[in-house]
Amino acid sequence: MDQQAEEAALARRAQSGDQTAFGVLVQRYSGAVFNQAYRMLGDTHEAEDVVQEVMLRAYRRLDSFDPSRRFVTWLLTISANYCIDRLRRRRLNWLTLDDVAFWLTSAEPGPERLALADERRAAVQRALQRLPDTYRGVTVLRYWHDLSYLEIAEALGLTEATVKTRLHRARKLLEQELQAEEETNQWDAETRLS
């Protein structure tokens, strides 16, 4: 039985109440959903919340899963749309306690910096966070999850042409951001040496 057929069988069993079957799918794909959410939101705690919520939504809407699709693609669809919602709500939170009580802000590195020990990978993550949400979404799904243009279009509710256009533009933006990161790191290194 190939993997897609196996997952369809697991989804059917989960739909009739077999949580063990759904547990297999959670074990298999919670990492992928976590990565997608982390790349989109830039925060490990938020990414963990997203995994919880996405798996809960998937469990409740198992009857809407199309067995002709890959299960991970369906999960990433739910996750991508949920992350976009969270990013929109984040834009509304324009004032936080840190802004008000700025003198209390800690100088310690956050958990994201600690999780990504490799500074070069951290630079990619920072560059990704500076991309517009619409470009970040297609970039993450294409390069980190190898979804096809059609799968990305279905996941994000776009046309294939729009996905291709955004990927094409995202290339230039990402390279610009990474170039800016390299220049900043160079300046930081020179400042430390002087």
Q: Which of 105, 161, 186, 189 binds other proteins (CB under 8 A)?
A: 161
Residue 88 in the binding site for other proteins (CB under 8 A): no
Name every residue whose Cβ is closer than 8 Å to that of residue 98 and which is 6 or more positions away in sequence: 104, 105
Residue 167 in the binding site for other proteins (CB under 8 A): yes
Binding mask 50-69 toward other proteins (x if CB under 8 A, else -) reads -xx--xx--xxxxx------
Closer residue to other proteins, CB minimum distance, 136 or 142: 142
Residue with tokens 């294409």: 142
Find out whether 139 and 167 touch, Cβ atoms under 8 Å. yes
Q: What minimum distance in Å lies between the beta carbon of 91 and other proteins?
A: 12
Q: Where are the alpha helices (DSSP H) in the chain?
A: 3-15, 19-41, 44-60, 71-92, 97-100, 111-115, 119-130, 133-139, 149-156, 160-193
Residue 107 in the binding site for other proteins (CB under 8 A): no
Closer residue to other proteins, CB minimum distance, 3 or 19: 19
Find out whether 175 and 167 touch, Cβ atoms under 8 Å. no
Residue 26 in the binding site for other proteins (CB under 8 A): yes
CA distance 34 to 45: 10
Residue 168 in the binding site for other proteins (CB under 8 A): yes
Closer residue to other proteins, CB minimum distance, 81 or 162: 162
Find out whether 143 and 72 touch, Cβ atoms under 8 Å. no
CA distance 154 to 76: 11
Q: Which of 113, 114, 120, 150 binds other proteins (CB under 8 A)?
A: 120
Find out whether 80 and 141 touch, Cβ atoms under 8 Å. yes
Residue 114 in the binding site for other proteins (CB under 8 A): no
Residue ranges binding other proteins (CB under 8 A): 14-17, 19, 22-23, 26-27, 30-32, 34-35, 38, 44-45, 47-48, 51-52, 55-56, 59-63, 93, 95-97, 100, 115-116, 118, 120-121, 123-124, 139, 142-144, 161-162, 164-168, 170-171, 174-175, 178
